[in-house]
Chains A and B, each alone.
Chain A
Amino acid sequence: MLIRPYGDRLNDGAVQLSFTLPLDASGKAVEVAREYVLRLGFESCEVAHASPLMEGFTMFVAYGWTNVSIDPDEVEMDPGLYERSMDFHEVNAFIKEKIERKLVVVGACTGFDAHTVGIDAIMNMKGYDRHYGLERYPMIEAHNLGAQVPNRELLNKAVELGADAVLVSQTVTQKDAHLVNLRDFQEEIEKMGLKGRFILLLGGPRITHKIALEMGFDAGFGKGCLPETAASFIAQRLYERKE
């Protein structure tokens, strides 16, 4: 079945756009904005508003109507990490029943990255938005090593603590700084002979499952990931391995 964006009628193809052009605000600039939206492939366009930002720059709010359709069935997506998520109680029950021991999870914000807000949301006692963090899971022993942890130090600690899973958090992705660091992480794993030893999770606001797999992780979590999403994955993957 083909679908299009929905404004107020099925398949009317209405899309809201907002963007800035390097032009002074003028009647001409509005026309340029409208024409630009048409060139994006929209059938028609209405420029609802133009704000001058400073000399040489104008912001537009525009609506475009498109004939482009898509068949949802032709789009593939990785098996839903999020759909398989259990809640806090279910995860703990699952671990207790199926794995029959506490899981050890070590996490850190690695390399130069100093932004712990993500790893803290997943691991710290309080968690995020009333979803408890891993530290509060009775069946998980969680160690949050904090920010700017060198890859080798994280792996040494994971070995020392007998970790089942290692969580790597990367927030700064400007100029692909994270990829350099993640490659180094995998090299360290190779060097230390730890390949396959841990379940590896990668997280961050601009991380996707696809990036994570490419970088040698078992799963990647971006926006919308809650502590239980990560905990569910670890528990289920460990159980699969055990089987």
Chain B
Amino acid sequence: MGQELQEAAGRLGLDAEKIARARECARRIAAPIHEYISIHTTISIERSTLRALGADGASGDGVPVPNLAVDSVKGELGKGAARYYVGALVETGWTVEEMNLKLASGYELSRAGVVDKAGVERKAGELTRAYCKRVKDNLAFRAKKISERSERENSPLLYVIVATGNVYEDAKQARAAALQEADVIAVIRSTAQSLLDYVPYGPTTEGFGGTYATQENFRVMRQALDEAGDEIGKYVRLVNYCSGLCMPEIAVMASLERLDMVLNDAMYGVLFRDINVYRTFVDQHFARMVNALSGEVINTGEDNYLTTSDALEAAHVVLASQFINERLALDAGLDHSLIGLGHAYEINPEIENSLLYELAQAQMARDIFPKSPLKYMPPTKHMTGDVFRGLVMNSMFNLVSKISGQSIHLLGMLTEAVHTPSMQDRFLAIDNARLVMKAASSLGDEIEYKKDGVIAKRAALVLDMAAEFLERVAESGLFAAIEEGLFADVKRKPDGGKGLEGVIEKADDYWNPIQDALESELFQADGKGGD
């Protein structure tokens, strides 16, 4: 820890003690939340558990099997749905596949207690080990490919988005982007999927503003990117959204289909989708444990604050949220190397020295979170439709990202605020980034920031304000702070928002073999997860 602080003081000469105090506040903020998390489950966690155990498929009218299974034992969920699902498998002697078909055509799980307890535990152990093996095999496959093929990767990784609504079109566009040297492809979700309390089943070709996240769609994209990667000798990373009411389920699906990154923010759903606070915090913890086991990099969503708040005025809230996201992620077993904290280039470009302020923010994040694969988001708010100016803004963004050593770089599109990116827009974005980053390849190493200069002073100020802000939140508690609108100027009541009815207090005999396995893998194996 001592050494980390030294590094953290970093290139801008930030006050290491202040950084440590901010981390301590984040710890104080997280502690009471964990008390709540540990004694609750949610319907989405229960569905995720069944998914990990093998539940899949959907009924004729499209209700997913995990929903059917969990809904059939509603009222008993405090004990965990796994005992009923596995209990039925043992009782009937059906395979998981047979059980899925039966459930899809109307079979209901029995609410009666488990008879053969030893048999159920044995079966659950078998299914849990199979799940963990598949996830670890995926992790090993990824690690091997990346280590063999890292030469072609850009630094930072260039991240682009596809959003056609049709998974087969997405696959084509993603392939094109990969061939043009993009490293990371994210599929935007259909608008409002975050508010569905189920995950649609099968491949989909109709979406609004994006494509539904389904396990089959994940598989289609994975295959397309693996093929494109083999062609060009690179491992192309796949991203989707682990957010909304089905956060834990998406995490399990992502772990099965070898997604490499997921957007997963502890507070995004609360602030920007009006999902209930309790639901969100319980869900994010389970989801992040799954992400941790899978070795998926999470991307947090601090960039979103700047769409509702002013980027200069709210800079410290972005930093404060990074501290909180980091703490909650560590607590869920994620290693620093998997915590892709987010931030964005959103200061009004008309402000004098805006580029310096952006550099201050980006370098500050790098200095304070030296091991985090920071995710840097492009200008969107001040993109006007003037594509020529847009290209200039993106170039400035690219330059700041390279100088400050960001890790994951979401490419700005010159047609932002006009239309979803066309093929040539993506090409121009990649071309721009590669040109700027090549031209400025070693610039970051050459720069020593002037002591008491505009950049160092700005970063120090933001850190000061963030530390103060975190003190306030630690005093009042995170829920109260959210209620007051301290984050992103959005106010949420603890018992308001969507999905609270899906939060269930755990009974004394709550049983969840997947959660048990996650916890033993993440927290007992090698002491990973703490810092």
Does B16 sit at the interface, judged by CB under 8 A? no
Which positions 378-398 of chain B face chain A at CB distance < 8 Å? 380-382, 384-385
Give every chain A residue within 8 A of B179 (Cβ-Cβ): 54-55
A112 with B308: in contact, given A146-B274, A148-B195, A223-B385 (CB under 8 Å)? no
Give every chain A residue within 8 A of B175 (Cβ-Cβ): 54
Interface readout for A91-124 with B: 1 if CB under 8 Å, 0 if not?
A: 0000000000000000000001111110010001
Give every chain B residue within 8 A of A205 (Cβ-Cβ): 417-418
Give every chain A residue within 8 A of B424 (Cβ-Cβ): 18-20, 53, 59
Q: Is the CB of A54 within 8 A of B307?
A: no
Binds B, one of A158-166, A169-177, A234-242: A169-177
Interface readout for B182-204 with A: 1 if CB under 8 Å, 0 if not?
A: 00000000011011000000000
* Cross-chain contact of B308 among A55, A124, A129, A177 (Cβ < 8 A): A124
Q: Is the CB of B191 within 8 A of A59?
A: no
Interface readout for A22-53 with B: 1 if CB under 8 Å, 0 if not?
A: 00000000000000000000000000000101
* Cross-chain contact of B180 among A54, A112, A115 (Cβ < 8 A): A54
Q: Is the CB of B176 within 8 A of A53?
A: yes
Interface readout for A122-135 with B: 1 if CB under 8 Å, 0 if not?
A: 00111001100000
Chain A residue nearest to B274 (CB atoms) is: A146
Give every chain A residue within 8 A of B272 (Cβ-Cβ): 114, 116, 147
Chain B residue nearest to A116 (CB atoms) is: B308
Does B59 sit at the interface, judged by CB under 8 A? no
Give every chain B residue within 8 A of A112 (Cβ-Cβ): 191-192, 208
Chain A residue nearest to B190 (CB atoms) is: A112
Does A6 sit at the interface, judged by CB under 8 A? no
Which positions 263-311 of chain B face chain A at CB distance < 8 Å? 272-274, 307-310
Chain B residue nearest to A222 (CB atoms) is: B385
Interface of B: prevailing SS: loop
A112-B208 Cα distance, complex, nearest whole Å = 9
Give every chain B residue within 8 A of A174 (Cβ-Cβ): 165, 208-209, 420
A102-B418 Cα distance, complex, nearest whole Å = 36
Does B150 sit at the interface, judged by CB under 8 A? no
The size bracket of the interface on B is 35 or more
A116-B309 Cα distance, complex, nearest whole Å = 12
A20-B195 Cα distance, complex, nearest whole Å = 37
A175-B166 Cα distance, complex, nearest whole Å = 12
A129-B379 Cα distance, complex, nearest whole Å = 14
Which of B179, B348, B350, B427: most chain A Cβ within 10 A?
B427
Chain A residue nearest to B428 (CB atoms) is: A59
A240-B420 Cα distance, complex, nearest whole Å = 40
- Chain B proximity of A48: nearest CB distance (Å): 15
Q: Is the CB of B191 within 8 A of A124?
A: no
Q: Is the CB of B307 within 8 A of A117?
A: yes
Does B422 sit at the interface, judged by CB under 8 A? yes
A175-B206 Cα distance, complex, nearest whole Å = 10
Interface readout for B404-440 with A: 1 if CB under 8 Å, 0 if not?
A: 0000000000000110101110011001000000000
* Cross-chain contact of B209 among A18, A54, A59, A172 (Cβ < 8 A): A172
Chain A residue nearest to B206 (CB atoms) is: A175
The size bracket of the interface on A is 20 to 34
Does B116 sit at the interface, judged by CB under 8 A? no
- Chain B proximity of A112: nearest CB distance (Å): 4
Does B489 sit at the interface, judged by CB under 8 A? yes
A205-B420 Cα distance, complex, nearest whole Å = 12
A54-B426 Cα distance, complex, nearest whole Å = 12
A59-B272 Cα distance, complex, nearest whole Å = 37
A117-B305 Cα distance, complex, nearest whole Å = 11
A120-B348 Cα distance, complex, nearest whole Å = 16
A216-B375 Cα distance, complex, nearest whole Å = 43
A53 with B308: in contact, given A20-B422, A114-B194, A177-B208 (CB under 8 Å)? no
A124 with B489: in contact, given A53-B427, A147-B274 (CB under 8 Å)? yes
A115-B416 Cα distance, complex, nearest whole Å = 14
Give every chain B residue within 8 A of A126 (Cβ-Cβ): 309-310, 313, 489
Give every chain B residue within 8 A of A59 (Cβ-Cβ): 423-424, 427-428
* Cross-chain contact of B423 among A57, A115, A116, A175 (Cβ < 8 A): A57
Give every chain B residue within 8 A of A124 (Cβ-Cβ): 308, 489
- Chain A proximity of B317: nearest CB distance (Å): 13
Q: Is the CB of B489 within 8 A of A125?
A: yes
Q: Is the CB of B208 within 8 A of A172?
A: yes
A208-B311 Cα distance, complex, nearest whole Å = 29
A172 with B176: in contact, given A51-B427, A59-B424 (CB under 8 Å)? no
Q: Is the CB of B381 within 8 A of A148?
A: no
Q: Is the CB of A53 within 8 A of B191?
A: no
A213-B380 Cα distance, complex, nearest whole Å = 29
Give every chain B residue within 8 A of A130 (Cβ-Cβ): 348
- Chain A proximity of B209: nearest CB distance (Å): 5
Give every chain B residue within 8 A of A172 (Cβ-Cβ): 191, 208-209
A114 with B489: in contact, given A54-B180, A148-B192, A175-B208 (CB under 8 Å)? no
Q: Is the CB of B176 within 8 A of A114?
A: no
A163-B153 Cα distance, complex, nearest whole Å = 55
Enumerate 13 A-B pairs (CB-CB under 8 Å) in ascending A order: A20-B422, A51-B427, A53-B424, A54-B180, A55-B179, A57-B423, A114-B272, A146-B274, A172-B208, A174-B209, A174-B420, A175-B208, A223-B417
Binding site for A on B (CB under 8 A): 165, 175-176, 179-180, 191-192, 194-195, 208-209, 272-274, 307-310, 313, 348, 350, 380-382, 384-385, 417-418, 420, 422-424, 427-428, 431, 489-490
Q: A112-B192, A126-B489 are in contact. List 13 more A-B contacts (CB 8 A).
A: A19-B424, A20-B423, A20-B424, A54-B179, A59-B423, A114-B194, A116-B308, A117-B308, A117-B380, A125-B489, A148-B273, A174-B420, A177-B208
- Please provide the 3 A-B residue pairs with the shortest distance between their CB atoms, ordered closest to farther: A112-B192, A59-B424, A172-B209
